[in-house]
Copies of this chain bind each other. A is one copy, B any other.
């Protein structure tokens, strides 16, 4: 817990050059490719500097260079993919994700809890009407359905829902009666969490369509939350209610496989610290 110094930057960056290269890389990403001068003007750098960084990124394989246009390459996908594929969470979940998607004909997503955010690291199934979610997309816990269910599950361990300074909930309450006043807010939140805990999952009806999303937290044996599993079924699904029950089965099986994995890899190497993801 480092106290935030009054320096604008939390910690004094050491290597400004790398920062510059990564800024250029992210700019290429956001703009879906760009040329040298475009990057130079928008990022306020000299053309030659941008050129140097871009050639370096090309040589390292992170950027492709064709027809005066620089694009990010698939190397980022490759590096990020290996990170995901090797994670025990993904390894434990993919079997259940497949069968869950097949049986409910919905879209199944796997989230990894990272601090106060949830990152979608895998997806199975597809339906044109359902809202897209990008691979690796990172959303605050307060904005996704996967969020509340994680916070609620987190509260299960210590008997109190997490209140680490972040406002756990205020927006997107599906069934909130508008007359909530100052003191009643906490109670409403607690009520919601209790309800989630009792039912084991959260439900959210899609804003636009009539699809429903069921979310369940994936927690370790000690109660800490590792991620969440989600299935959203379209409105014209055969049996939307059974999807929720089916989700709970999948969650339970994933947790089982996960804990058994940890038992077999009980060697206390500080590597593979798949437990403290909190960046």
* Interface contact B126-A95, CB-CB below 8 Å: yes
* Interface contact A121-B17, CB-CB below 8 Å: no
User: Which residues of B are found within 8 Å of A58, using beta-carbon distances?
Assistant: 11, 279
User: Which residues of B are found within 8 Å of A9, using beta-carbon distances?
Assistant: 59
User: Which residues of B are found within 8 Å of A74, using beta-carbon distances?
Assistant: 80, 83-84, 112, 114, 119, 121, 136, 138
Contact sample, A vs B, 21 pairs, CB 8 Å cutoff: A11-B55, A15-B53, A17-B17, A18-B57, A18-B60, A19-B60, A33-B271, A33-B272, A33-B273, A65-B279, A67-B276, A77-B121, A77-B135, A78-B136, A78-B137, A79-B80, A80-B81, A80-B135, A85-B135, A95-B128, A98-B126
Given known A-B contacts A13-B59, A53-B15, A26 and B276 have beta carbons under 8 A apart: no
Q: Nearest Cβ in chain B — how far from A98, in angstroms?
A: 4
* Interface contact B15-A21, CB-CB below 8 Å: yes
- Chain A positions 26 through 47: 1 when the CB is less than 8 Å from some CB of chain B, otherwise 0: 1001011110000000000000
User: Which residues of B are found within 8 Å of A31, using beta-carbon distances?
Assistant: 271
* Interface contact A56-B86, CB-CB below 8 Å: no
A164 contacts chain B at the CB level, 8 A cutoff: no
Interface size on A, residues (CB 8 A): 83
A124 contacts chain B at the CB level, 8 A cutoff: yes
Copies in the complex: 2
Q: How far is the CA of A65 from the CA of B69 in the complex (A)?
A: 34
Main secondary structure of the interface of A (DSSP, over half): mixed
A3 contacts chain B at the CB level, 8 A cutoff: no
Q: Nearest Cβ in chain B — how far from A79, in angstroms?
A: 5
User: Which residues of B are found within 8 Å of A125, using beta-carbon distances?
Assistant: 98, 124
Interface residues of A (CB under 8 A from B): 9-15, 17-22, 25-26, 29, 31-34, 51-53, 55-62, 64-69, 71-86, 94-95, 97-98, 102, 105, 112, 114, 119, 121, 124-128, 132, 134-138, 169, 270-273, 276-279
Q: How far is the CA of A19 from the CA of B58 in the complex (A)?
A: 10
Q: Nearest Cβ in chain B — how far from A70, in angstroms?
A: 10
User: Which residues of B are found within 8 Å of A112, using beta-carbon distances?
Assistant: 74
Known: A64-B277, A74-B83, A77-B81. 13 other contacts (CB 8 A): A11-B58, A14-B56, A15-B17, A29-B79, A29-B82, A32-B272, A33-B271, A68-B270, A77-B135, A78-B80, A80-B135, A82-B134, A82-B135
* Interface contact A273-B82, CB-CB below 8 Å: no
Q: Nearest Cβ in chain B — how far from A114, in angstroms?
A: 7
User: Which residues of B are found within 8 Å of A128, using beta-carbon distances?
Assistant: 95
Give the nearest-CB partner of A77 in chain B. Answer: B80
